[in-house]
Structure 1
Amino acid sequence: MRGFDLERELDRHWLRWALLAWGVIAGWYLWDRWGSVRGLALGDTDDNMRLMQVRGLLTGQGWYDLRQYRLAPPEGLDIHWSRLVDLPIAALILLFKPFVGVAQAERLACGIAPLLPLGVVIAALGTIVRRLVAPAAWTIAIIVLLGCGAAMYMFAPLRIDHHGWQLAFLTLTVMGLSDPARARGGVIVGLSSAGSLTIGLELLPYCAMAGAIVALRWVWDAGDARRLQGYSLSLAGGSAAGFALFASNANYAMRCDALTPVWLSVMVAAGALLFLLSRINPAARGARLLLALVAGGAIAGGFAALFPHCLSRPEGVSDELTRTWLNNVREARSITTQTFRAGFPLAALPVIGVIGAGVAAWRARGHDQLVAWIAILLFNAFAGAMLFWQIRGGPAAQLLAVPGSVALVWIVVPWFLERGSMVIRILGGVAAFLLLSGLFAGFVVQFVKLDKPQPGRSTVYRANARCASATAMSLLDRTLPPSTIFTHVDLGPRLIVMTHHKGIAGPYHRNERAILGVHHAFTGPPDAFRGIARRYGAQYLLVCPNMAETTVYRAREPNGFYGQLAKGRVPDWLTPVPLPKDAPYRMWRIRYDPPNSLTDGAKRADPR
């Protein structure tokens, strides 16, 4: 009888052990953040809105109706997402509901659902490095992955928005690019790209890059025609299925911000042209390159001719909303605008990944893995360059860097471990691993202080957290019957999740009128506020002093309506609503009888 052989286990039964590691990681995450899960502390507006979308589905809202009717009443807000990401959350709620009730089932679902795509990522990364580095290298990949702070945040409990699943599809795309089975690899790339696009267009540039890499592989090697065929058919078919099954009623319009008929036609046309190229498959490399360029030009030219309105920003919003809101979204800024503490850990691993993929490609010259490493190198370089456009690409850049990092660790660390000196073996091996895995970046930012102090930042963070807390929100339920409350854009989604009230707006670009309405109401003259509030039937005004959004209002228009409130000048058509002394809010009932002008006798408010 054979004893336990670690090397054999890590090779032959690697997936079993990788999934066990995923279970341990998931268990630790849930234990560590159980307090937040229990309090349903959904920290991002999109996570809150995702839960509202699932609630709507489970309470009878139409599958293709994704409007949020508890914001901007009576018409509601159009949400441009799809139902695909709702499915695992809804399934978990239905699973737990008979045992623990609806409220606790929601908490458990929101805690567990983000961890599901993490399992896909671990399995896909393990497959990639086993193919290209070594059979046991998947263990190193998991350790490197755990150091990817921006990426791992997307899989944390309560992070139920769609980013985790899109990252999982992206990792599957790289797995397909590295697959030696050409037809299977092409199908994986096509289906994962279609899945990502069905969820949203955030990773559209990466999907386009994957398609370009598949086409370039065919240009280089005519034998890759089967990969191109699998990719083209699965991309077109998967996109069509995704649109038919998950596109909302609103996404049948010719919009540019989701998988609408615009992008569906692009994917189907691209799939058809690439399939045609794979069938022609001329023997000469120059002829294949020419055909690829003609096909790419036809797709780009047709897009520009048929959908010229999509050549600018896909959100399709006005210059005013772009200037006052969209351009100020933090994740839409370049890495060059970030602090050292935020930017350095985000960029360190992608740089290492590019170097590692380059070294691995050089070492693989003359071997079958060369083309796969070149594909990963191109993807790494592209993802790193995207950081100079928007830092929202940071999680993707970190994930794509893992194979290159693992390759460097596998080459360099053993060199130190084979040295004669114990000091070199231990210190050199540890230092090399920390450096090449990117884990050193977390230590660097703790000791290197390059950022200038930002006065007031802690006050803003504290206000953001307090006003969104379950404890504070429960005050609003206890104080008022179900009402329509006029409040900040970033507080709207949290308000409708945690209370029985309706709100006005959320930070979603298709709802420009509601967003600008809130902005105009708070930055305009006091008397203009009531006209905007009346449009939505708002009965109360709720403000969170020192919240990040309020600092923008005060900076933009110090003498506007919110600026007046902050200075303690309250119009007499606002009646204070008593709240506990430690409440983070200030609240008033709005009176709509003929207004009086702001006078010296105006009521006084807390000047915060």
Structure 2
Amino acid sequence: MGERIFHWHHFVRTVWAVLAVWLAYGLIRLAIQPMLGWEPVGPDDWTRLLQVRNWLDGQGFWDVTQYRMNPPEGFSMHWSRLVDMPLALLALMFGETAAMALVPLVWLLPALLALRAIMLRLQFTPLAMAFGLVILPLFPLLPGNFAPMRIDHHAPQAVLALVCAALLIRTSRWSAVVCGICAAAWVVISLEGLPLVAVLAGLYGLRYWLNRQSLLPWFLGSLAIASAALSLTTRGPVEALYCDILLPGHMITFAAAAVISAIIPFLPWQDRAPVRLAALAGMGAVCLIMAASLLGPCATNPMAELEPVLQTYWHGYIAEGLPIWRQPVSVALMLLWTVAIIAFGWWRARGSGLFRPQGAEPAVSTLYALFALAAGGYSLLVMREGVVAQLLAIPFAALLLAEFLPRARAITAPLPRILATLAAVGLTTPLFASAFAKPLDQKFPVATMAPDVIALRQPGECRYDSLADLPAGLVLAPLDAGPEILGKSNHTIVAASYHRNQRPMADVLSALIGPVENARATIALYDAEYVVICGAAPDVALYRTANADNFANALVSGKVPRWLERLDAASEGPLQVYRVIR
């Protein structure tokens, strides 16, 4: 028995344990996928597929414009080819469906390897390591983002953040260099990662302040070089300055910070902690002023200048981009619970001695915890950052489980043992808190879950396969439906949910929420040939609340003007398809 336990303790620390967990998770997900379907999950997944298709069909590597949206100009996109590359490679090797099924699972492997590296560095017990490798499904935001067919860019961003955390708590210059490269890839994929990359820089600065460990120049230098290289190679020269991508102003600021941080150790009196802190603060102030000067209006939130109709009927209802006070109760509690797990797990681990890092530098556990807390705080402002926060919270949940679950299992009386076991699992992970709060979502609804909106949703679901049988033409459809229509047919669409293209987006929304005659003018302006609407879609139900006599209500009810002809062969259930009569 002792020999078997010894081998188990050894195995859980090896890469083989990671591979075993990864393979088991992947096989289970692939086994249940036929029940869920082999199509992209949402509009962004469909658009990612379209982007890869366009590239493989010959569209330029640097050109990610979606030309079938608002033709002939197309929709300008801020998306990065970095996310397209693994999809394109696997699509060429195994086919499109296999690529969409495998790529999210492929991203899971470096996440598990990073978790292993973090737990080894923090010297977790074997039991805590075992929990850390298997409890990912108990974090509500994670399984769906690493599920087959979920091919948007949120999983790659979160994985790069976790890898950065694993590198942050190492002490070598090479770890700082690789961390800078991963951080560069992160912000090239999405500028939304920039605040947490700034936190990484601050934590490297903390090391210098408290311990004179000069890794900050290596991190910032590789960040500056890699961000410029990745931006140039994957985007090409930036012809039009958009505020939603990494700009030359960002890169120059990174480079200036790297140079200043490399000079600081040679300044006088660097043996004194207050002087080191003053030097770092001065560097930060100089870089902030430089960034504000170079970036100008792009130093602010690019979503701040959306047209009012887009703020009201589009961005204001995209839950993943909203702060905690605009989330359903269950989601808000899940986000808060995740932060609490990080904070309580760190406090318990420090008190019980479960963290046993070596070295005189600022405790690596503190560096990791501060980064995780920053991600958790960020998720309270932008919900989708909860994917990063929940990945970073896994080690803390594993520590808490390793402490409390054995105590619960040691209780001799059956009923108390069962209750204690459920409490140990439920309180140390956010899944059960979110599930128990679910009934409160209806009692305290956010705008998109208001009773009048829910009441307007028709039963069933809409599949747009029938549109493939119609002659190709320009379709006016709600924003979320557009990408799937493009993926399943040869049609073009007026607009989809991509913020650089505000005019056609606002025109489509105004047509749907406004009077029928306004919609007719918009259809004539774009020369649309079809109008398509899904009465079961949440966004359509929202549009219908704007006005009882608006175009969306007319389309769903079938009380359409004479200049529209219902195509019965293509319309099914809540899906209504109309041809425009000239």
Q: Does TM, scored on the shorter chain, surpass 0.5?
A: yes
Pair 1:308 & 2:296 matched: yes
C-alpha contact 1:358 1:377 (8 A) present in aligned 2: no
Between 511-520 and 545-554, report the one with greater CA deviation. Answer: 545-554
Pair 1:354 & 2:343 matched: yes
Q: Whole-Å Cα distance in 2 between the matches of residues 349 and 15 of structure 1?
A: 27
Q: Whole-Å Cα distance in 1 between the matches of residues 537 and 429 of structure 2?
A: 37
Runs (5+) with no aligned partner, structure 1: 97-104, 593-608
Which amino acid counterpart does residue 293 of structure 2 have in structure 1?
A
C-alpha contact 1:540 1:587 (8 A) present in aligned 2: yes
Deviations 1:368-425 (A, max 9, x none): 3862111122223222322332222221221121222222333344555677888877
Q: Whole-Å Cα distance in 2 between the matches of residues 135 and 569 of structure 1?
A: 67
The 5 A counterparts of 1:85-234 are 85-96=83-94, 105-134=95-124, 136=126, 137-179=128-170, 181-222=171-212, 224-225=213-214, 227-234=215-222
Pair 1:270 & 2:257 matched: yes
Q: CA deviation at 1:15?
A: 0.8
C-alpha contact 2:467 2:488 (8 A) present in aligned 1: no
C-alpha contact 2:465 2:488 (8 A) present in aligned 1: yes
C-alpha contact 2:453 2:542 (8 A) present in aligned 1: no
Distance 1:25 1:568, change over 3 A: closer
C-alpha contact 1:82 1:248 (8 A) present in aligned 2: no
C-alpha contact 1:349 1:401 (8 A) present in aligned 2: yes
Which amino acid counterpart does residue 466 of structure 1 have in structure 2?
E
Aligned length in residues: 570
Q: Whole-Å Cα distance in 2 between the matches of residues 456 and 143 of structure 1?
A: 41
C-alpha contact 2:475 2:528 (8 A) present in aligned 1: yes
Q: CA deviation at 1:255?
A: 2.2
C-alpha contact 1:357 1:403 (8 A) present in aligned 2: no
Q: CA deviation at 1:441?
A: 2.5
Q: CA deviation at 1:215?
A: 1.0
Which amino acid counterpart does residue 559 of structure 1 have in structure 2?
D
Distance 1:235 1:540, change over 3 A: same
SS of 1:556's equivalent in the other structure is coil
SS of 1:33's equivalent in the other structure is helix
Q: CA deviation at 1:449?
A: 8.2
Distance 1:550 1:425, change over 3 A: closer
Deviations 1:145-200 (A, max 9, x none): 22111122211111101111101001011101221x33133123212211101111
| Partner of residue 406, structure 1 | 398
Q: Whole-Å Cα distance in 1 between the matches of residues 547 and 507 of structure 2?
A: 15
CA RMSD across the alignment: 2.9
| Partner of residue 525, structure 1 | 515
SS of 1:589's equivalent in the other structure is strand
Pair 1:242 & 2:238 matched: no
| Partner of residue 580, structure 2 | 590
Over the matched positions of the two proteins, sequence identity in percent amounts to 28
Deviations 1:526-578 (A, max 9, x none): 33333422343311111222422222322223333334445654222223323
| Partner of residue 515, structure 1 | 505
SS of 1:57's equivalent in the other structure is helix
Pair 1:328 & 2:317 matched: yes
Q: CA deviation at 1:493?
A: 0.7
Q: Whole-Å Cα distance in 1 between the matches of residues 516 and 292 of structure 2?
A: 45
Q: CA deviation at 1:367?
A: 5.2
C-alpha contact 1:37 1:110 (8 A) present in aligned 2: no
Among 373, 376, 398, which residue is 1:381 paired with?
A: 373
C-alpha contact 2:512 2:543 (8 A) present in aligned 1: yes
Q: Whole-Å Cα distance in 2 between the matches of residues 420 and 548 of structure 1?
A: 50
Q: Whole-Å Cα distance in 1 between the matches of residues 366 and 219 of structure 2?
A: 18
Distance 1:255 1:267, change over 3 A: farther
Q: CA deviation at 1:29?
A: 0.7
Q: Whole-Å Cα distance in 2 between the matches of residues 553 and 461 of structure 1?
A: 11
Pair 1:481 & 2:479 matched: no
Which amino acid counterpart does residue 36 of structure 1 have in structure 2?
L
Distance 1:192 1:68, change over 3 A: same
Q: CA deviation at 1:47?
A: 0.5
Distance 1:590 1:400, change over 3 A: same
Q: Whole-Å Cα distance in 2 between the matches of residues 381 and 588 of structure 1?
A: 51
| Partner of residue 285, structure 1 | 273
Q: CA deviation at 1:462?
A: 6.3
Deviations 1:503-537 (A, max 9, x none): 11110100101101101222333333334223433
Which amino acid counterpart does residue 149 of structure 1 have in structure 2?
P
Which amino acid counterpart does residue 152 of structure 1 have in structure 2?
P
| Partner of residue 561, structure 2 | 571
C-alpha contact 1:173 1:193 (8 A) present in aligned 2: yes
Q: Whole-Å Cα distance in 1 between the matches of residues 96 and 196 of structure 2?
A: 33
The 5 A counterparts of 1:418-433 are 428=420, 431-433=423-425
C-alpha contact 1:11 1:135 (8 A) present in aligned 2: no
Q: CA deviation at 1:360?
A: 2.6
Q: Whole-Å Cα distance in 1 between the matches of residues 393 and 30 of structure 2?
A: 26
C-alpha contact 2:141 2:387 (8 A) present in aligned 1: yes
| Partner of residue 36, structure 2 | 36
Q: Whole-Å Cα distance in 1 between the matches of residues 250 and 578 of structure 2?
A: 46
C-alpha contact 2:408 2:420 (8 A) present in aligned 1: yes
SS of 1:78's equivalent in the other structure is coil
Which amino acid counterpart does residue 281 of structure 2 have in structure 1?
L
SS of 2:152's equivalent in the other structure is coil
Q: CA deviation at 1:110?
A: 0.7
Distance 1:447 1:572, change over 3 A: closer
Pair 1:299 & 2:287 matched: yes
| Partner of residue 11, structure 2 | 10
Pair 1:337 & 2:326 matched: yes
| Partner of residue 61, structure 1 | 59
Q: Whole-Å Cα distance in 1 between the matches of residues 548 and 527 of structure 2?
A: 27
Distance 1:374 1:328, change over 3 A: same
Q: Whole-Å Cα distance in 1 between the matches of residues 318 and 440 of structure 2?
A: 27
Q: Whole-Å Cα distance in 1 between the matches of residues 48 and 261 of structure 2?
A: 36
Which amino acid counterpart does residue 6 of structure 1 have in structure 2?
H
Q: CA deviation at 1:144?
A: 2.6
Distance 1:45 1:272, change over 3 A: farther
Q: TM-score, normalised by structure 1?
A: 0.86
Between 482-491 and 315-324, report the one with greater CA deviation. Answer: 315-324
| Partner of residue 68, structure 2 | 70
| Partner of residue 598, structure 1 | none
Q: Whole-Å Cα distance in 1 between the matches of residues 408 and 466 of structure 2?
A: 60
C-alpha contact 1:521 1:529 (8 A) present in aligned 2: yes
C-alpha contact 2:480 2:497 (8 A) present in aligned 1: yes
Between 556-565 and 150-159, report the one with greater CA deviation. Answer: 556-565
C-alpha contact 1:151 1:394 (8 A) present in aligned 2: no
Runs (5+) with no aligned partner, structure 2: none
Which amino acid counterpart does residue 114 of structure 2 have in structure 1?
A
Which amino acid counterpart does residue 402 of structure 2 have in structure 1?
W
Among 242, 245, 257, which residue is 1:255 paired with?
A: 242
Which amino acid counterpart does residue 384 of structure 1 have in structure 2?
G
Which amino acid counterpart does residue 142 of structure 1 have in structure 2?
L
Distance 1:143 1:272, change over 3 A: same
Which amino acid counterpart does residue 312 of structure 1 have in structure 2?
T
